[in-house]
Amino acid sequence: MARRGGEIREVEETSVHRLEIAQLLDAPSVRRAFHLIDALADAITREHVAICEIPAPPFGEEQRARYFERRFRELGLEGVRRDTVGNVIGFRHGWSDKPTVVVSAHLDTVFPNHVDVRVRRRNGRYHAPGIGDNASGLAALLALIEVLQRVRVTTIGTLVFLCTVGEEGEGNLRGVRHFFTDGWAEKTDAFISLDGHGVERIVSGALGSRRYRITIAGPGGHSWGDFGIVNPIHPLAEVIRQLVEYPLPRRPRTSLTVGRIEGGQSVNAIPQSAFMDVDIRSTSSAVLDRISEYVKRVVAQAVRQENARCAATGTRLSYHIHCLGDRPTGETSPDTDIIRVAQEASRLLGIEPQLEWASTDANIPISLGIPAIAMGAGGNAGNPHTLDEWYDATNRELGLKRALLVILALAGVPEL
């Protein structure tokens, strides 16, 4: 909101007093909203389960998007539509479009279509892939809309509700990227992504990443008859060895993971091709640049060595490095309004907030200088991105109340 501070003040001065976040707790509409959040607990959990059971694999979010499009309409949002990449957008207009607060949750999971996403309940916990990340954020988004609508909370600014495609992995933030290249970069005053569980987490740092698929290919052949020709797996192994030995800085914190390796046809065949996926993350884009250059150098060198070793056979390997993802870094400064409000809302509810770095949809607005955070949507969860993911709804209402306070404090509630 800092960028448009002048315009926001203008709304305040020409209209009415805007309630401070501590005053919001005593506002009748907010009290009614808090009661409703408690009263709706079971219904929210039922919808959470229903959302989780709609598969939303990477690049296959359409079915879940259609569900949200329908629900946005049922809940009375205006201008509901799906954009050209599949994001779902709906509006809840305030007195003005200043400020414009975008509240978002990502639709996609990391799980391919064949994974069983049915939810099983055991010992008070809900078990299913994607139940926490991000069915819980999505359920929170709908719950917040429902509460705002039923209690008829008036806001000064406008709320834009957004469900994004492609947050995870190879989706490379394509949904939120599209949103902000579609004219919203100029119009957005604050951006909140509800991502996963928890009540303490406030992600203010955009952890950047670069992801590469390194493919090496050759003629392939018989393990005995053609022995001595180039083998794509050998240089891949050499690349891994050199990546593991690279001295990563502790500060800025940086990680490097070879997450996947695949190749070859059979135990007794020299492979025709092999590939591996490398994920590099850092809070510094300079470090990401440096390591990316190192990866490219090491691959070229390892392929050259294998070609030299097998030169007598006249066979050669070729390689290709494909960028699977490039997520920008950045940080929403701790003295920004959005961070102050999120921390204050947490403390008012008895939560000690933690500022963190992560890779979320908020990376894009943060890198554009738009005040943005990602927050947990309440409850507790574990084993994200695995088939053993679980969710426990204890404290879900606390996460919803915190999110509601943050949204209302940012959009502004007039003193009527």
- List residues binding Zn ion (CB under 5 A): 133-134, 195
Which residue's CB is nearer to Zn ion, number 135 or number 341? Answer: 135
Which two tokens mark 368?
């554009």
Q: Which of 318, 317, 412, 375 is nearest to 101 (CA)?
A: 412
We find the least distance from the C-beta atom of residue 111 to Zn ion, in angstroms, to be 12
CB of 17 to Zn ion, least distance (A): 37
Closest CB to Zn ion among 195 and 306?
195
How far apart are CB 374 and Zn ion at their closest, in Å?
8
In the complex, least distance from residue 167 CB atom to Zn ion, rounded to whole angstroms: 6
Is the Cβ of residue 198 or residue 220 nearer to Zn ion in the bound state? Answer: 198
Q: What is the DSSP string of 217-240?
A: E---EETTTTTTS--THHHHHHHH
Closest separation in Å from C-beta 132 to Zn ion:
8
For residues 127 and 197, which CB has a smaller minimum distance to Zn ion in the complex?
197
* Min dist. Cβ of residue 174 to Zn ion (A): 14
Token digits of residue 334: 């701790």
> What does the buried/exposed string (b/e) look like for 11-44 if buried means 16 or more CB atoms within 10 Å of the residue's CB?
beeeeeebbebeebbebebbeebbebbeebeeeb
Rg (CA), the chain: 24
Residue 24 and residue 30 in contact, taking contact as beta carbons nearer than 8 Å: yes
For Zn ion, the closer CB: 248 or 358: 358
Nearer to Zn ion, 189 or 195 (CB): 195
Q: Nearest distance from residue 364's CB to Zn ion, in Å?
A: 14
Nearer to Zn ion, 47 or 133 (CB): 133
CA triple 193-365-379, angle to 5 deg? 15
> Could you tell me the two tokens for 23?
């005053």
Strands 390-392 and 125-127: antiparallel
Structure tokens at 52: 């989780």
Calpha distance 112→245 (Å, rounded): 33
Q: Rounded to the nearest 5°, which phi and psi values hold at 339?
A: -75, -45
Query: How long a stretch of residues is the chain?
Result: 416
Residue of minimal Cβ distance to Zn ion: 133
Which residues on neighbouring strands pair with residue 67, listed in sequence order?
none
CA distance linking residue 382 with residue 321, whole number of Å:
34
Q: Given the complex with Zn ion, which of 198 and 221 has the nearer CB atom?
A: 198
Q: How far is CA 415 from CA 17, 20, 28, 100, in A?
A: 5, 10, 11, 19
Q: Smallest distance, Å, CB 284 to Zn ion? A: 23
CA distance 335 to 406: 15
The tokens describing 195, both together, are 């991502």
The DSSP secondary-structure symbol of 20 reads: P
Do the Cβ atoms of 272 and 224 come closer than 8 Å? no
CB of 285 to Zn ion, least distance (A): 22
